[in-house]
Every structure is written in structure tokens, then in C-alpha cells.
Amino acid sequence: MKGSLADGDTLMEIETAEPAGYVICQHCGKKYRAITALHLRNIHGYEDEHPIREYKAQFGLRFSVCQDSRKKISEAKESFWEDRGQHWTDEDVLDAIRQIHDANGSLRPHDVPGKLHLIARRRFGTWQAAVERAGLDYEEVTGIERWSQERVIERIQQLAAAGIPLHSTYIKQHYPILHGAAIKRFPSSWARALSAAGFDPEDHKKAREGCDKGQVENWVKSRVAEHQSILARDAPNDMLQFVYKRLGMRWTDFVESLGIPYPGVKKRRDWTAQKVLEEIRRLYTEGHRLNYHAVQDDYVALIHQARKYFGSWDRACAAAGVQCHRDCPEPTAPTAPQTPGA
């Protein structure tokens, strides 16, 4: 088995990302080689289980690491596989494509080995580019007809006549070939393709989100009624994006605006040692299980702050005057205990 570049990165992406040596924190405007979970938690109050993922989603970012660092990671992975004699070179990819063709095998994207298809895209940008670099006619060897502007327009009009939603997110998810052809023939813009087909892109902006405020509220309330998770990590992505971009709110703030206490990680800057103790006592009074892992599953923000102010969950419970009733050992705290303020 052969290795590859770092997941999610391609040489093409690395070469075009700007700026090269740093990324800018969208909160404080400072330059860093990478926006880390530690920075987001300690400086900007993030307490989500996956702060980097939430940060990128909130600001619509693809990377939180600068170009230079991503390139070094890619080179390190290539070196790792090369040392083991398992490194894919450009010629390895092209030879594999030619071998399939010489054996009369299919070179349609869905028929080739998944590993080869993935590596070809990472090294050449697209499967079509790899096939053509191998000296083959893509349309001839795959049987895939190339899309013209006229064909893109015709297909959009057919979907509209059939009542299919025309917003970009839906088309990209359900008709990816059409979407890819459209942004290629009408450079980088689904909206331009819609306009060329005789549709006003403005008429489809609301549909693009796939939801409205009422739908998100109903989803949260129904999940609460059914005792299911309403954590950000379990919410549909289109709803998260709607809340972030259209309502201008964090998911936790939106949930609590409905009068529903957010059950998981909460980004807040008003934690104190006293508030940690009050929260522990509240959970105890309401009959919640207070062993470490039960609280970590439901309220990891409290665990994080308890360890921050008291060094461990056990010490925080003791300071609150309650018993945690541990049913399994608590992980060792990464830092020495800190004395809470008076």
C-alpha cells in the first residue's frame, strides 16, 4: 500500500494558498503559523470539544494552518512513505492509469480503485487531468461526454421544470457533476450559470440555506422533547451555518435564546471558581450523576473549568461540599492544581 499527502491538502492547494507564512486570527487580528485549540480556548473563550472545527465553520475558513506549515507536513508525510518504499510519484500514478487502459479496464472515476483515484486527484488536481497527463483522451476512454455551456443551461432548465431546488448547496450535493461543470463553464460561479439559464440567483438565496429560523427552533425543541442531543456537533451543518451566517449568533447562544440551557460546552468568559462550585452544587441538587465521565459526557465545559481552577474534578467536588461518586478513575490533570481566588 502506498502513502499520500496530508489528508485534505493537495499540492495545488498548497501552492495557491495566501499568505504563505502565517494565518490571521479572525478574533484578535494577530498573525500565527497556526490557530490552535489552545489559543482559541485560552484567549477567545472557546470551550467546544472541537474548537478549531467550530472556528473554521464560524468564519467560513478552509484552513487554520499557514501554507508553509501545511507544505512541511505534506513533505514530511511523503518522506515517511518514501523511506518505506511506499511513496506514490507522479509517474507511478500515470503508469497505473496506463496499465488499466492497456488491460481494457474502465477508467470511469467510479470504476477505478479508490486509492488510485484519490492519489491522482491530490497529485494532479482532478482525475481528468491525471488521465490526460497519461496521454489518453478523457472523453474517449471514459465515455463521459464533456459539458458545454449549452448543455449546462439545458440541464438546469430541466431540473427547474421538474421542481428541483436550484440553490448551490442542494445541486452540489445531489448533482455534483452538473455543479462542477457549471462552475467550470461559467467560471467559479453557480450564480452565473443560473443567470445564463434565465433564472435570478437572488430568488434562490434563501433556499440555499435549506432552513429558516422556525425550522431550527422546531428542531431544537423536538430534540429536547425526545431527550436527544442538541450539541453543536450533532446539529445538521446547514442549521449551524444558518445560525452563524444569517442570524449572526453562536449555536450555544441560539439554543439558550430559546430558554433552553445548553447541555454541553459553552463559550463563556465569566467563569470563576465560585461559579464552578455553584454549578456543581446545582447539578447535585437536581440529582445529576457527578462521576467524572458522566459529567464529561454532558457538561465538559464544567469539567474543563473545574480542572482549571481546582486542578481536578475530585478537588472541585470536595470544595463544593459534595461527593462525586466516581465509578472509574479520573484522568490525570495536565497541570498542577491552582489555588482558587478568594
Mean pLDDT over each residue of the chain, to the nearest integer: 78
pLDDT score of 99:
92
Do residue 198 and residue 217 come from a single domain? no
Indicate the range of 72-86, 162-176, 214-228 predicted with least confidence.
72-86
184 is a domain residue: yes
pLDDT score of 34:
92
Using alpha carbons, select from 249, 252, 254 the residue that is nearest to residue 218: 254
Q: How far apart are CA 52 and CA 27, in angstroms?
A: 13
Interval 237-278: pLDDT, tens: 778 778 877 788 888 888 888 988 877 555 555 678 888 898
As for how many domains the chain has, the answer is: 4
Do residue 201 and residue 217 come from a single domain? no
103 is a domain residue: yes
264 is a domain residue: no
Nearby residues of 270 by Cβ (< 8 Å), 6 or more positions away: none
pLDDT score of 326:
54
Neighbours of 328 (CB within 10 A): 9
Most confident by average pLDDT, 43-57, 202-216, 230-244, 264-278: 43-57
118 is a domain residue: yes
Do residue 125 and residue 154 come from a single domain? no
Contact assessment for residue 111 and residue 105, using Cβ atoms and an 8 Å cutoff: yes
Contact assessment for residue 324 and residue 283, using Cβ atoms and an 8 Å cutoff: no
Domain that holds residue 222: 213-257
Tell if the pTM clears 0.75, that is, is over it. no
125 is a domain residue: yes
Strands (E), the chain: 23-24, 31-32
Q: How far apart are CA 254 and CA 41, in angstroms?
A: 20
Contact assessment for residue 265 and residue 49, using Cβ atoms and an 8 Å cutoff: yes
Cis peptide leading into residue 201 (ω within 30°) = no
Per-residue pLDDT averaged across 84-95, rounded?
77
Among the three residues 116, 146, 176, which one is the final residue of a domain in this structure? 146
Phi and psi torsions of 31, nearest 5°:
-95, 135
Do residue 218 and residue 176 come from a single domain? no
142 is a domain residue: yes
